[in-house]
Structure 1
Amino acid sequence: MALTASLAHNSFLKIPTAIHSEASPLCSSFMGSPPTLSRSSTLPGNQSLSRNQFVVFARKISGLEEAMNIRRDRELQVVTKFKKRPPLRCGRVSPRLPVPDHIPRPPYVGSDILPEIASEHQVHDYEGIAKMRAAGELAARVLNFAGTMVRGYHGDTSKTFFCGEVGDELKNLVKVTEECLEKGIAACKDGALFRKIGKRISEHAEKYGYGVVERFVGHGVGTVFHSEPIIMHNRNEKAGRMIEGQTFTIEPILSMGSIDSITWPDNWTTITADGSPAAQFEHTILITKTGAEILTKC
């Protein structure tokens, strides 16, 4: 898992308009090129304007664009009400288990500083792909074994496990999150745009009123644990295309409430800003000519 901070890009621009001291609730929406604002003293027909008035010029949008704009507005306005739940609180952390000295440690072990993102993309030859498949299968086996040991806690890496009695609302959140991962993977193949991943995930999440957490992102993985490319799970305009032989993770987090997050003093545990439930699923994939191979399956 890696994290980043990003600015959201809206698909349209809203400009509030007001005349003199009138408080106007009106709002104009524009697709495509930004509108032009200009001070003007005259209008067609010799109608005069005061110095405090503005004229807004915008190109006429097509019927299709307008319909898409309205549909997008409605999708974003879907509000699903969930029961208020008590916020998460820090539990007891068990002591670190000893690891034999001959086993290599990742560079971030023993550090409370998040690892850097390496600039090189992880693209592999035949031998490298075989090693990635072995490492991915081993990671999946470890994850499944860890899931059998859960006692009252959610997994926070690649899979969300149910703990105790779980209601339908949370079950649906987990189900849709896993579906979002699947839809993100389905968008992948040699030559595909990276931004298609975020588009597919966001479209599916919004159908159910869930938000996509933007702070945490997928990343390249291979000989280096965290590297380019950065995989954004929300709508974005990130440049770049996938290439055959490349490996990276997709790991969307969906929230029933806020998509903002806060990190506890341990500098590791992160929860939603309003304490609402969230779920996450992750896979490491290998880009092929016609699609993507999931490496973290067993």
Structure 2
Amino acid sequence: MKNILKNKYDLQQIRISGKITANVLEMIQPYIIPDISTEEINKICHHYITHVKKAIPACLGYNNFPKSICISVNDVICHGIPNKKSFLKTGDIVNIDVSVIKNNYYTDASKMFSVGPINKKNKLLCKIAQNSLYLSLKCIKHGARINNIGKIIQKYVEQNKFSIVKEYCGHGIGKNFHDLPYILHFYNKNDSTIMREGMVFTVEPMVNEKSSHTKCMEDGWTIKTKDGGLSAQYEHTILVTDIGCEIITHQENEKIPKIFINT
């Protein structure tokens, strides 16, 4: 347990890294327009991370992943690979997943973007994915069971007639990209893990329009919905505190506080 609890120095560095990750997602917003290629978006983010923020894109080269960020469009659930032949079009929904390393510390966040006007159902899908993450933050605090996170997410998503992806989960993060604890986005009654002050992990629910079933494409990375339904995801890096939690990757345009007090 001691290895996954962060000390004061760890948290100083994680907050620096987290601010950069948030800044990338803030910076890229104006570029999400029709006819831009996903490779061009990747190049813009890569330059910003490496030259402006003097950080390292954590995805690049991770298990041979070939790009600096993940871009998942429409029915791609996660791990979409930017491509110079893939162009955004009006009505698309797009997840951009950013992970950076600064001073040897990792942080990770993603959010949905719309390309021009999108229809009501797609807008609702993105809203439910975001709300499911936000709602789960209200249960995070020292001493609480970690499976409450998945319980809240699953209940909310299914009440709204969407489905939650079960194959991919949140994870501890800090000096390692992926670490303990694992954060399931559905309820596992057998998980007795207790949240402790100083834990840092991601919460990253993936919500599907239709069924929760997934398929991996031939590139070994891109995960799509099996039935062609659309998918949406939001992700934050979260610190557990003694009275609640802190959103390490909080962005300026979010309508929730950076600090949650969950008594």
- Structure 1 residue aligned with 2:95, among 152, 155, 163? 155
- Structure 1 residue aligned with 2:9, among 123, 127, 148? 127
**Structure 1 residue ranges, 4+ long, deviating more than 6 angstroms after superposition:** none
Q: Give the letter aligned to residue 191 of structure 1.
A: G
Matches within 5 A, 1:43-192: 122-151=4-33, 152=88, 154-157=94-97, 158-192=110-144
Q: Give the letter aligned to residue 272 of structure 1.
A: T
In the alignment, what sits opposite 1:48?
none
Shift in alpha-carbon separation, 1:252–1:121, aligned structure 2, 3 A: farther
In the alignment, what sits opposite 1:214?
166
Match status 1:295 vs 2:177: no
Q: Which has a greater percent of helix?
A: 2
TM superposition shift of 1:123: 1.5
Q: Counterpart of 1:286 in 2: which secondary structure?
A: strand
Q: Counterpart of 1:228 in 2: which secondary structure?
A: strand
Match status 1:199 vs 2:136: no
TM superposition shift of 1:180: 0.2
- Structure 1 residue aligned with 2:204, among 236, 240, 251? 251
Q: Give the letter aligned to residue 291 of structure 1.
A: G
Q: TM-score, normalised by structure 1?
A: 0.58
CA–CA separation in structure 2 for the residues paired with 1:198 and 1:226: 18
Identical aligned residues as a percent: 32
Contact 1:121 1:229 in 2 (8 A): no
Q: Which has a greater percent of strand?
A: 2
CA–CA separation in structure 1 for the residues paired with 2:230 and 2:162: 11
CA–CA separation in structure 2 for the residues paired with 1:121 and 1:164: 45
CA–CA separation in structure 1 for the residues paired with 2:194 and 2:237: 17
- The superposition leaves residues 253-294 of structure 1 with CA deviations (integer Å, 9 ceiling, x where unpaired) of 111111011111111111110010110000001100010100
Matches within 5 A, 1:7-18: none
Q: Counterpart of 1:134 in 2: which secondary structure?
A: helix
CA–CA separation in structure 2 for the residues paired with 1:138 and 1:247: 17
TM superposition shift of 1:146: 2.8
- The superposition leaves residues 223-260 of structure 1 with CA deviations (integer Å, 9 ceiling, x where unpaired) of 00101111000111212101101100000011111101
CA–CA separation in structure 1 for the residues paired with 2:96 and 2:166: 16
Contact 1:220 1:247 in 2 (8 A): yes
CA–CA separation in structure 2 for the residues paired with 1:172 and 1:121: 40
RMSD: 1.6
Q: Counterpart of 2:170 in 1: which secondary structure?
A: strand
Gaps of 5+ in 1: 1-118
Q: Counterpart of 2:148 in 1: which secondary structure?
A: helix
Contact 1:120 1:228 in 2 (8 A): no
Gaps of 5+ in 2: 34-87, 98-109, 252-263
- Structure 2 residue aligned with 1:268, among 221, 231, 237? 221
Contact 1:174 1:280 in 2 (8 A): yes
- Structure 2 residue aligned with 1:232, among 184, 187, 192? 184
Q: Give the letter aligned to residue 24 of structure 2.
A: V
Shift in alpha-carbon separation, 1:200–1:126, aligned structure 2, 3 A: same
- The superposition leaves residues 43-73 of structure 1 with CA deviations (integer Å, 9 ceiling, x where unpaired) of xxxxxxxxxxxxxxxxxxxxxxxxxxxxxxx
